Structure 1
Amino acid sequence: MEDGQKIFSFTGYHLLKEDGSQRGKVITVPSVVTYESLLKNTIIGCLTVMLNIEVLGKVQMPTIRTRQDFVLWLSILKAGNVAYGLQEDLASYRKVKNSISSNKLNAAKRNWKIYREFENLPFLKACYVFINYAWNGLRKA
């Protein structure tokens, strides 16, 4: 990040089963994510993010129950910044039944709310990015 003057980076990660054993699924990431591309694919795993706050300044996640990381990433990228994906699997994410993020229907509803209430996207654009989000979510499953 320092060599390339980058303020936002993230990496790939792999999924673990609830018991901690390998699930065998690795989440690979794109090399660059913009505001528009993040709207369509929530690929940035919070557990892998690094922010250069010396350049970016102090940032804080909003005080909402879920998807606060997504809202923060959107706000950083909406300001004209870019997130850089490192093509390495550097973290483990344990999938747990009954966690807040485990219910995909609820996650989809929350994303729709973010599109309309936080990002104030027009209805048709919200529909467009939501369809892309759903498609990308199915591909990650």
Structure 2
Amino acid sequence: MSHSRRSILGAALGLPAAVAVGTVATATPAAAAAVDATAWTNLELETGITPQPGATPQVRTVTILGTTFLQARGAITCNLAADTKIGTLPAAMTPPTWYVRATSPRNNSQGINACRFEVNTAGSVTIYGATSGNPITWVQFDSVQTIWR
């Protein structure tokens, strides 16, 4: 099973236009029931990781026709000089069955303005890409949307 958004998009674009248009044109409101989103829940942040005012880091899952996606929002202030665990998924959220990764905006330093957001199979959330010569001082999560399972 592929976990690539590119392969899912490629498959969708590979559909004949008539089939896609016909399906959309005949869709009923009941088709919307195929989308299920959980409530936004706060990440459990590690000591030294501070939510930005009005932007508490939160996660949720959204299932669309059997494919579940992780979405995140919010932002943190930090001082990361190495790859660092910044938090843990909420206790009510089942951890993924494999690593989940996405790219997040960070402070622009030495021309680098993105870092890796990763959730492991234990539910730990880690930020990758910081070094002592290129520390991460903030990370924004609104762009995180990736296949969960």
| TM-score using structure 1 length | 0.28
| TM-score using structure 2 length | 0.27
Larger Rg: 2
- Higher strand fraction (1 or 2): 2
